[in-house]
Homo-oligomer: A and B are copies of this chain.
C-alpha cells in the first residue's frame, strides 16, 4: 500500500487538504469551510474528517500531517494563536490534537512559508539555493527558503517583509507603521485606490465594468480597465506597480536571492506589474547582481500550500 502525507492549507475561511505522495504528486484533494464562529473544536473536527476522508479515498497509509496555517503561530508548541483571521482560535494546540488522533508526526508552519516550500519542492523555484517568495493578496507575505530550509526570525517567528516601510507619509497599517508595502499596495489598497479614482473620474471604464457600482470595483476591475488603456485605471495600476517594484528592489538589496517567486490574487494581474518591476530592478540594484536574479510567477497556485505543508513532513524523514 502506498504511503502519503496529508498537506493542509488552513486559511481564515477555508481549509484545503491534499494527499501528497513522496514525489510531490497530489493523489486527491478535499476542502471545507472553516467556520471560525463555530469555535476551534468544530474546526478541528472538520479537519480530522477531511484527513480521514482523503486516506480512505486514496486507500493509502498515512505517514504524517503537515499544516500551513494563517498565523500568528506558536511553532514551539505547535499551536495556532490567531484571533485576527480565525476569531476564537487562540492557543489551539493543533499539532498535539492531530497527533493524538492519528498517531503520526504532525508539522505546523506559517502558510506563506509552506507555500514557498511548495514552490521550492515542486514549483517555480525548484532547488534554488536562496528562494524568496512574495505573496500579494489581501496582505503581502514574504518568505525566504535557504537550501530548502525556512528562514526563521527571533523566537522562530516568521519575518514580515511585506511590512517594510516604503513611504512614512503613507496611511496607517495595523502593523503599527505608516506607509508599509502592504498598506500601500496589497489587494485592498489597490481596490480602494480604484474606487477613489472612479469617484474622481466617473467616465472611467472601471465604473462601467462594475455596472455603475462603486463598491463593486476592486483591484481586478482596475487591472481589466488598465488593459484597455483606461487612464484612471492605468494611474491606479501604475502606482501599485511602482510600490511593488520598490518593495521587490528592497528585498533584492536585503537578501539578494537567486529567484523571486510572485504569487497571490493580485499577481493574477502580473502582466501589468512585471514590466515596471523588471525595469525598476534593473535600474535600482547596481550593488548586487540583480540582473541575474530570476523574477518569476508561482506555478502551483492553490496547491503550493498543500504541497509545501506535506514537504515539511517528508523533510523530517
Q: Whole-angstrom distance between the alpha carbons of A146 and B242 in the complex? A: 32
Q: Whole-angstrom distance between the alpha carbons of A255 and B256 in the complex? A: 13
Q: Whole-angstrom distance between the alpha carbons of A161 and B161 in the complex? A: 13
Render A157-179 as a binary contact track against B, CB cut-off 8 A, 1 for contact: 11111011111100000111100
B257-A154 in contact (CB<8A): yes
Q: A154-B258, A242-B168, A246-B168 are in contact. Are A161 and B286 (CB under 8 A)?
A: no
Interface centre among A176, A180, A287 (most CB of B within 10 A): A287
**Does A251 reach chain B (CB closer than 8 Å)?**
yes
A243 to B, closest residue via Cβ = B168
A250 to B, closest residue via Cβ = B164
A130-B142 in contact (CB<8A): no
B164-A254 in contact (CB<8A): yes
Q: A154-B292, A254-B255, A257-B154 are in contact. Are A287 and B246 (CB under 8 A)?
A: no
Choice from B154, B157, B284 contacting A165 with Cβ under 8 Å: B284
SS of A interface (majority): loop
Q: A165-B284, A242-B168 are in contact. Are A292 and B250 (CB under 8 A)?
A: no
**Does A288 reach chain B (CB closer than 8 Å)?**
yes
**Does A224 reach chain B (CB closer than 8 Å)?**
no
**A228-283 CB contacts (< 8 Å) to partner B:** 242, 246, 249-251, 253-258, 283
Q: How far is the CB of A294 from chain B (nearest CB, A)?
A: 9
**Does A27 reach chain B (CB closer than 8 Å)?**
no
Q: How far is the CB of A261 from chain B (nearest CB, A)?
A: 14
B157-A289 in contact (CB<8A): yes
**Does A14 reach chain B (CB closer than 8 Å)?**
no
B residues less than 8 Å from A174 (CB atoms): 286
Render A283-303 as a binary contact track against B, CB cut-off 8 A, 1 for contact: 111111100110000000000
B254-A154 in contact (CB<8A): no
Q: How far is the CB of A70 from chain B (nearest CB, A)?
A: 13
Q: A130-B154, A293-B154 are in contact. Are A284 and B253 (CB under 8 A)?
A: no
**Does A316 reach chain B (CB closer than 8 Å)?**
no
Q: How far is the CB of A177 from chain B (nearest CB, A)?
A: 4
Q: Whole-angstrom distance between the alpha carbons of A10 and B293 in the complex? A: 29
B177-A284 in contact (CB<8A): yes
If A130-B154, A160-B253 are given as contacts, then 13 extra A-B residue pairs at C-beta distance below 8 Å, sorted by A number, are A157-B256, A158-B288, A164-B249, A164-B250, A165-B249, A167-B167, A168-B242, A176-B283, A176-B284, A176-B285, A176-B287, A177-B284, A250-B250
- Please list 10 pairs of residues, one from A and one from B, whose beta carbons are closer than 8 Å in the complex, sorted by A's number: A153-B255, A153-B257, A154-B258, A154-B288, A158-B256, A159-B255, A163-B285, A176-B283, A176-B284, A176-B287
A: residues with CB less than 8 A from B are 130, 142, 152-155, 157-161, 163-168, 174-177, 180, 242, 246, 249-251, 253-258, 283-289, 292-293
